[in-house]
Structure 1
Amino acid sequence: MDLLRSLPIGLYLEQPLTWLHRLDPRVKLGWLVSFLLAPILASAMWKLSLVGMLVAISILAGIPWRALKQQMGWLLLVGGAILLVGVFAPDAISVSHQLRSPADAGVEIAQPYQYVLFKIDTGALHLKITKKSIDSAIYASSLVFTLVYSTTVYLLTTAPEEITTGLESLMAPLRRYHIPVTEITLTLTLALRFIPLVLEEIQNLVRSIYTRAIDWQELGLKNSAKIWLTVSEKLLENLLNRAEQIAIAMQVRGFTTPNTHLVQWHQLKLGKTDFLAIVILVVFWTARFTIGGQFI
Structure 2
Amino acid sequence: MDLLRSLPLGLYLEQPLTWLHKLDPRVKLMWLLSFLTSYVVANNYWRVLLVAILIIITLFAKIPLRVWRQQMGWLLLLSLMVLILGSISPDALRINYQPRLPANQQVLTQPINAKNNQVIPHSPISKKEYSYVLFQQGPVRVTRRSLDLAISLSTIVFTLIYSTNLYLLTTAPEEITSGIESLMQPLRRFKIPVTEITLTLTLSLRFIPLVLEEVQNLVRSVMTRAINWKKLGFKGGVQVWLIVTERLLENLLLRAEQMANAMIVRGFTSPNEHQVQWQDLRLRVSDWLAIAILMVFWGLRIAFGAEVS
Same fold (TM over 0.5): yes
CA–CA distance in 1 between the matches of 2:308 and 2:239? 54
Q: Would you say 1:293 and 2:306 are equivalent positions?
A: yes
Per-residue deviation, 1:248:
0.7
Q: Would you say 1:232 and 2:245 are equivalent positions?
A: yes
CA–CA distance in 2 between the matches of 1:294 and 1:112? 24
CA–CA distance in 2 between the matches of 1:192 and 1:217? 39
| One of 168, 172, 184 as aligned partner of 1:159 | 172
- The one-letter code matched in structure 2 to 1:67 is V
- Three-state SS of the structure 1 residue aligned to 2:83 is helix
The answer (yes or no) to whether the contact 1:205–1:235 under 8 Å persists in 2 is: yes
| One of 116, 122, 129 as aligned partner of 2:133 | 116
The answer (yes or no) to whether the contact 1:38–1:288 under 8 Å persists in 2 is: yes
CA–CA distance in 1 between the matches of 2:81 and 2:216? 28
Per-residue deviation, 1:263:
1.3
Q: Kindly tell me: are residues 141 and 114 of structure 1, through their superposed partners in 2, closer, same or farther at Cα, counting changes over 3 Å?
A: same
Greater displacement, 23-32 / 199-208: 199-208
The answer (yes or no) to whether the contact 2:9–2:71 under 8 Å persists in 1 is: no
Q: Kindly tell me: are residues 193 and 100 of structure 1, through their superposed partners in 2, closer, same or farther at Cα, counting changes over 3 Å?
A: farther
After superposition, residues 248-287 of structure 1 pair within 5 angstroms as 248-287=261-300
- The one-letter code matched in structure 2 to 1:107 is L
Deviation per CA, 1:214-260, whole angstroms, max 9, x where unpaired? 33344333322222222222222211111111111001000011111
In structure 2, what is the equivalent of residue 67 of structure 1? 67
Per-residue deviation, 1:102:
12
Can you give the 5+ residue segments of structure 2 that lack an aligned partner in the other structure? 110-124
Q: Kindly tell me: are residues 83 and 227 of structure 1, through their superposed partners in 2, closer, same or farther at Cα, counting changes over 3 Å?
A: farther
After superposition, residues 3-82 of structure 1 pair within 5 angstroms as 3-82=3-82
Greater displacement, 252-261 / 231-240: 231-240
Deviation per CA, 1:99-121, whole angstroms, max 9, x where unpaired? 38998994338444211111234
Tell me the C-alpha RMSD between the 2 structures.
Answer: 2.3
Deviation per CA, 1:114-173, whole angstroms, max 9, x where unpaired? 11111234xxxx321111111111111211111111111111111111111111111100
Greater displacement, 134-143 / 170-179: 134-143
Q: Kindly tell me: are residues 102 and 257 of structure 1, through their superposed partners in 2, closer, same or farther at Cα, counting changes over 3 Å?
A: farther
Aligned identity (percent) is: 59
After superposition, residues 141-180 of structure 1 pair within 5 angstroms as 141-180=154-193
Q: Kindly tell me: are residues 204 and 272 of structure 1, through their superposed partners in 2, closer, same or farther at Cα, counting changes over 3 Å?
A: same
After TM superposition, the score normalised by the length of structure 2 is 0.87
- The one-letter code matched in structure 1 to 2:5 is R
Per-residue deviation, 1:30:
0.3
After TM superposition, the score normalised by the length of structure 1 is 0.91
CA–CA distance in 2 between the matches of 1:78 and 1:146? 12
The answer (yes or no) to whether the contact 2:39–2:47 under 8 Å persists in 1 is: yes
- Three-state SS of the structure 1 residue aligned to 2:108 is coil
CA–CA distance in 1 between the matches of 2:174 and 2:151? 36
- Between Structure 1 and Structure 2, how many residues are aligned? 292
Max Rg structure:
2
- The one-letter code matched in structure 2 to 1:191 is S
Q: Kindly tell me: are residues 149 and 86 of structure 1, through their superposed partners in 2, closer, same or farther at Cα, counting changes over 3 Å?
A: same
| One of 104, 129, 141 as aligned partner of 2:142 | 129
Can you give the 5+ residue segments of structure 1 that lack an aligned partner in the other structure? none
CA–CA distance in 2 between the matches of 1:217 and 1:138? 46
Q: Kindly tell me: are residues 78 and 213 of structure 1, through their superposed partners in 2, closer, same or farther at Cα, counting changes over 3 Å?
A: farther
Greater displacement, 257-266 / 107-116: 107-116
In structure 2, what is the equivalent of residue 212 of structure 1? 225
Q: Kindly tell me: are residues 216 and 10 of structure 1, through their superposed partners in 2, closer, same or farther at Cα, counting changes over 3 Å?
A: same
The answer (yes or no) to whether the contact 1:36–1:147 under 8 Å persists in 2 is: yes
- The one-letter code matched in structure 1 to 2:79 is G
Deviation per CA, 1:30-78, whole angstroms, max 9, x where unpaired? 0000111122122222212211111111111111222233333432332
- The one-letter code matched in structure 2 to 1:61 is A
The answer (yes or no) to whether the contact 2:24–2:283 under 8 Å persists in 1 is: yes
Q: Kindly tell me: are residues 112 and 265 of structure 1, through their superposed partners in 2, closer, same or farther at Cα, counting changes over 3 Å?
A: same
